[in-house]
Amino acid sequence: MNAPKKSSGKSGRISKRAVWTPLLGMGIELGAVVAVFTFGGYWADQHFQTELWWTLGGFFFSLIGMTYLIIKRAIQQFFNDSE
């Protein structure tokens, strides 16, 4: 993820779009990955005739994995901005 670009205006402030665009992308990615893994777990529950174990497993696996990736990106963003 790239660092937000400063606007070319006189104030040198970061534009609102540069701040919100990466966050919006991460939110959409989080939702999509959680939905896909949860649906996959639901399908597995229906296929193997188990209760909610695969659904819950898919949900928590994707949520933990995406949380890790978001934290990793945030740390990279923080250290890229400090240079």
pLDDT for 12-56, tens place per residue?
A: 577 878 878 888 899 999 999 999 999 999 999 999 999 999 999
Q: Where are the domains of the chain?
A: 16-82
Model confidence band, residue 67 (pLDDT cutoffs 50, 70, 90): very high
Residue 26 CB-density burial (10 A; 0-12 exposed, 13-18 middle, 19+ buried): middle
Whether the predicted model's global pTM rises above the 0.85 cut:
no
> Residue 3: how many CB atoms within 10 A of its CB?
14
* Alpha-carbon separation of residue 9 from 5, 16, 21 (angstroms): 12, 13, 19
